[in-house]
Structure 1
Amino acid sequence: MNKNELSELLDDYCYTKQEAADILGISMQRLGTLIQNGKLTPVPHPGTKLFLKTDVHARLEDQEELRKRYYHRP
């Protein structure tokens, strides 16, 4: 697999830290807390943290459900 193919593969299946935070609508600090608490696990990759797209979207669904359950706006 060459460098371009690997890059395309990562783009197809992974988000960067910033992309994950943006999709989840949270700060980078909150993303760090999710990682520390085991709520979101990065893919081991030298130099940066990557997140599987499926994991980020599953967390987004959980987060939306939790917000519906516990965050009530008048």
Structure 2
Amino acid sequence: MIVNATEFKTRAGKYLDIVEKEEIIITRNGKEVAKLVPIRKEGTPNADFLYGLLSNFENKDVTKEQIRDKRVNEKYK
């Protein structure tokens, strides 16, 4: 979701509820200036990693080998 800074300031509470479900990009004068992202629960670093990684795959039926290869490739870039 994209929202301008004035709208965000006016209705911050509304956007704090929304950010639990999706990221919010805040703009000022038509330019992106900030990104509000949900905090992941503590104790789930592996799940957070996979969540971010899987968002890059069009096909969500990926194998553990594909995930491993992607992780290794990004680590050594």
Q: TM-score, normalised by structure 1?
A: 0.26
Q: Which has the larger radius of gyration?
A: 2
Q: TM-score, normalised by structure 2?
A: 0.26
Of structures 1 and 2, the one scoring higher in RCO (CA 8 A, sep 6+) is 1
Between structures 1 and 2, the one with greater strand share:
2
